[in-house]
Amino acid sequence: MRGSGIRASTGAALLGALIVWVALLGPLIALLAHLTPGAVVSALRQPGAFQPLVVSVLASLIALAVILLLGTPLAYLLARGRLPFPRLWEVGVILPLLTPPLVIGLLLIFMVGPNTAIGVALGHLNLSASDTFLALVVAEVYEAVPYYVLGAAAAFAGVEPELEEAATLLGDGRWRTWRRVTVPLAAPGLATALAITWARAMGAFGAVLIIAYHPFGLPMQIWVTLQETGLSSALPFALVLLLVALPLPVAAYLWSARARRRL
Amino acid sequence: MLVLVADFEVARREFPVRLAVQAEAGERLAILGPSGAGKTTCLEAMAGLLPLSAGRISLEGRQLSRAAEPGSDVRAGHRGVGLLRQRPGLFPHLTVLENICYPPGASPARARQTASRMGLDGLLDVRPRGLSGGEAQRVALCRTLQTDARLLCLDEPFSSLDSALGIELLELVRRELVEVSAVLVTHQLGEAQAFADRVIVLARGQVLQVAGPRELVLRPNSARVAEMVGYRGFLRCGSQVLAIHPERVHALGRQDGAGGISARVVKVRPEGGRVDAEVEAEGEWIGRFHCRFDEAPELGSTLLFGAPDAPQFSGAEALLD
């Protein structure tokens, strides 16, 4: 009796898990079901069809580099508790995550728009953070940075400080310890954080819509095509976005899982 | 030749830790004390992980730390001081050989030789998670030896292992260290005695006694030290307190007489081919002795015991402790 009860509950749990899994993959299945190869080829043969893809990839790569450069030290200091008032820093990191992307876009206008101090300073350098490529990078950074900092902080927190101390005692300086111990041990977590950040940057839309309508990246191209010519014309670009945005996170996730098992 | 000259204080929240010690080349010291006495603090100060609040540390004539000039401290890892902790701190992403070769400038050939002497030959390509506790500590020791440390600090590195293996590994350390001084921190007297030429007894950040391992047990300089090195019975004799070590009492007989300690038998139980009896005097448990089955005392009977050379302390001092 007891054995059959356990089997029934295991079966129910499996069924529930299957329903959730199928539901999560549902949109992807629907996309593939509604697209024909001919529609994809025809959409991509239009003049300038690849321009949004190039813009999105370039902007996301730059955003990723900025986030990596500025977010990594912050994530490490957060993980090691070396910042004064750590909760305050955490709130600062989480805030862009909790704020709706459209609101982030609106607020960015007041921060980096043409009539702000930063906007004027950029103007002196012949730059603008409104409806430009730079604006697209800024919007992507704001939408994606919390994902990286929180993920990287968790990865660094998983590296035992005793191991860094051991490296120091064996003669390594800080930078060498970081390179030989901290980063290799945090690498699986960092890879996951970076992959999610890449996906968020590639798909950034809310803040982009407000401050970087031009030049079109892929999400904006999908939106504009949807508005102008309808769902069926937008779907090929949605597929391209998925094909470009997803392989890196999926590969990083698989590598990260394998690397964790080896440690 | 004096190698280590340390006379320093480290400020801590509860109490400052003070240590004054000198060691010759190849000399082994042990710092013995209860948990929280400040033993690890002493090692961390020597290894350069903690700043001094007073005093200085020098090794082979080279000044490592000086409280008056904190900016001139030689940084950890560059002082010629190795530190081996209870957790071996092996890098999980590297193999055993890569761990051993980790210190900058380590030679793979020499690393293999040391590993071979320590019985690690078959484990060089294994990752640390596949090692037993004893193997992991041997790898950590082997790795520390590649740094050419002139002073090796051992922070209870083998205390999580069973005591026989711990003693075996301490003997391995003794064999491996030629002309290298070492300081072992431990709360186990047996480990300190097995390892050290001199034992420093530390309590609440203060050195209570420095003595050879035998002298420390024979002549503790205070009731507190006596208690730490295993004395259990403290009997009043006028204004003095007599400290009794349970392994240093022997039965004199059943009759009253001068020169003995009159004690009551409180436990009698067979132990293999003999009888194990425990005795109390003046309400203090003073020890255990063994006798043949046909000589077993009766429970509750009074016997005379001898405790030769039992140390005496003034009553006031003993009560203070």
Q: Is the peptide bond before A215 cis (omega within 30 degrees of 0)?
A: yes
B100 Cβ neighbours under 8 A, 6+ residues apart? B106, B111, B114, B115, B120, B124, B139, B142, B143, B146
Residue A169 has its nearest CB partner, among B76, B92, B93, at B76
Average model confidence (pLDDT) across chain A:
92
Q: Which residue of A has its CA nearest to B147?
A: A170
The reply to whether residue A262 touches residue B127, judged by beta carbons under 8 angstroms, is: yes
Count the residues in chain A. 263
The reply to whether residue B85 touches residue A162, judged by beta carbons under 8 angstroms, is: yes
The DSSP bridge partners found for residue B267 are B278
What does the pLDDT average to over B280-287?
79
Nearest Cα of chain A lies from the Cα of B133 at a distance, in angstroms, of: 17
User: Does residue B107 sit at the A interface (CB-CB below 8 Å)?
Assistant: no
In this predicted structure, the answer to whether residue A250 has a pLDDT above a threshold of 50 is: yes
The reply to whether residue A170 touches residue B143, judged by beta carbons under 8 angstroms, is: yes
Under 8 Å between Cβ of B223 and B313: yes
In this predicted structure, the answer to whether residue B319 has a pLDDT above a threshold of 60 is: no
What does the pLDDT average to over A21-30?
89
Q: How far apart are CA A60 and CA A198, in angstroms?
A: 7
Contacts of B107 in chain A (CB under 8 A): none
Interface test with A, best of B102, B141, B145 (most A CBs within 10 A): B102
Under 8 Å between Cβ of A217 and A59: yes
User: Does residue A37 sit at the B interface (CB-CB below 8 Å)?
Assistant: no
Q: Looking at the predicted complex, does its ipTM rise above 0.85?
A: no
User: Does residue A190 sit at the B interface (CB-CB below 8 Å)?
Assistant: no
Contacts of B126 in chain A (CB under 8 A): none
Paired tokens of A202 = 């590639």
What does the pLDDT average to over B197-218?
95
User: Does residue B47 sit at the A interface (CB-CB below 8 Å)?
Assistant: yes
User: Does residue A171 sit at the B interface (CB-CB below 8 Å)?
Assistant: yes
pLDDT in tens, B152-197: 999 998 887 888 888 888 888 888 887 889 999 999 998 899 899 9
Report which residue type is found at B205. G
Q: Are strands B233-237 and B240-244 parallel, antiparallel or unpaired?
A: antiparallel
In 3D, which of B193, B147, B152, B156 has the Cα closest to residue B173? B152
Nearest Cα of chain B lies from the Cα of A259 at a distance, in angstroms, of: 9
Q: How many CA atoms within 13 Å lie on the side-chain side of B37?
A: 19
User: Does residue B104 sit at the A interface (CB-CB below 8 Å)?
Assistant: yes
Cβ-based neighbour number of residue A61 at 10 Å: 14
Nearest Cα of chain B lies from the Cα of A140 at a distance, in angstroms, of: 34
The reply to whether residue B129 touches residue A263, judged by beta carbons under 8 angstroms, is: yes
Name the residue ranges covered by the structural domains of chain A.
55-262
Residues B233-268: b if buried by 16+ CB within 10 A, e if exposed: bbbeeeeebbbbbbebbebeeeeeeeebbebbbeeb
Residue B321's pLDDT band, with cuts at 50, 70 and 90, is: very low
Q: How far apart are CA A250 and CA A45, in angstroms?
A: 28
Under DSSP, the state recorded for A181 is I
In this predicted structure, the answer to whether residue A76 has a pLDDT above a threshold of 90 is: yes
Q: Which residue of A has its CA nearest to B84?
A: A166
Residue B320's pLDDT band, with cuts at 50, 70 and 90, is: very low
Under 8 Å between Cβ of B111 and B95: no
The reply to whether residue A170 touches residue B76, judged by beta carbons under 8 angstroms, is: no
Residue B103 has its nearest CB partner, among A171, A262, A263, at A171
Residue A166 has its nearest CB partner, among B78, B89, B127, at B89
The reply to whether residue A185 touches residue B93, judged by beta carbons under 8 angstroms, is: yes
Helix, coil or strand: residue A2: helix
In 3D, which of B279, B306, B280, B277 has the Cα closest to residue B291? B277
Under 8 Å between Cβ of B151 and B82: yes
pLDDT in tens, B30-53: 999 999 999 999 999 999 999 999
Q: How far apart are CA B275 and CA B292, in angstroms?
A: 6
Residue-range domains of chain B with CATH: 2-218 (3.40.50.300), 230-320 (2.40.50.140)
Q: How far apart are CA B18 and CA B9, in angstroms?
A: 4
B298 Cβ neighbours under 8 A, 6+ residues apart? B265, B268
Cβ-based neighbour number of residue A25 at 10 Å: 10
Helix, strand, coil percent values for chain A (each to nearest 5):
85, 0, 15
The reply to whether residue A165 touches residue B82, judged by beta carbons under 8 angstroms, is: no
What does the pLDDT average to over A149-161?
97
The reply to whether residue B143 touches residue A171, judged by beta carbons under 8 angstroms, is: no
User: Does residue A166 sit at the B interface (CB-CB below 8 Å)?
Assistant: yes
In this predicted structure, the answer to whether residue B316 has a pLDDT above a threshold of 60 is: no
User: Does residue A91 sit at the B interface (CB-CB below 8 Å)?
Assistant: no
The reply to whether residue B76 touches residue A168, judged by beta carbons under 8 angstroms, is: yes
Q: How far apart are CA A118 and CA A111, in angstroms?
A: 7
Describe the crossing of helices A231-245 and A247-262 by its angle, rounded to 10 degrees: 30
Under DSSP, the state recorded for B208 is E
pLDDT at B252: 73
Q: How far apart are CA A58 and CA A64, in angstroms?
A: 10
What are the distances in angstroms from CA B316 to CA A186, B222, B238, B319? 58, 11, 11, 5
The reply to whether residue B82 touches residue A185, judged by beta carbons under 8 angstroms, is: no
Positive or negative, the Cα torsion across B59, B62, B68, B69?
A: negative
Q: Cα A247 vs. chain centroid, distance in angstroms? A: 13
B271 Cβ neighbours under 8 A, 6+ residues apart? B290
User: Does residue A261 sit at the B interface (CB-CB below 8 Å)?
Assistant: no
In which region does residue A69 sit, left (phi positive, over 0), alpha (psi from -120 to 50) or beta (all else)?
alpha
Under DSSP, the state recorded for B75 is P
pLDDT at B186: 94
Interface test with B, best of A159, A170, A263 (most B CBs within 10 A): A170
Chains A and B form CB pairs within 8 A to the count of: 46
User: Does residue B139 sit at the A interface (CB-CB below 8 Å)?
Assistant: no
What does the pLDDT average to over A227-238?
90
CATH class of the region A55-262: mainly alpha
In terms of pLDDT, which residue wins out, B237 or B218?
B218
What does the pLDDT average to over A151-167?
96
pLDDT at A216: 92
Q: Is 0.90 surpassed by the pTM of this model?
A: no
Under 8 Å between Cβ of B157 and B85: yes
Report which residue type is found at B178. V
Nearest Cα of chain B lies from the Cα of A176 at a distance, in angstroms, of: 10
Tokens 């480290």, located at residue:
B10
Q: How many CA atoms within 13 Å lie on the side-chain side of B148?
A: 7
Nearest Cα of chain A lies from the Cα of B201 at a distance, in angstroms, of: 26
E strand segments, chain B = 2-10, 17-24, 28-32, 54-59, 62-66, 81-84, 151-155, 181-186, 198-203, 206-211, 233-237, 240-244, 250-253, 261-271, 274-281, 284-291, 302-306, 312-314
Helix, coil or strand: residue B33: coil
Under 8 Å between Cβ of B17 and B10: yes
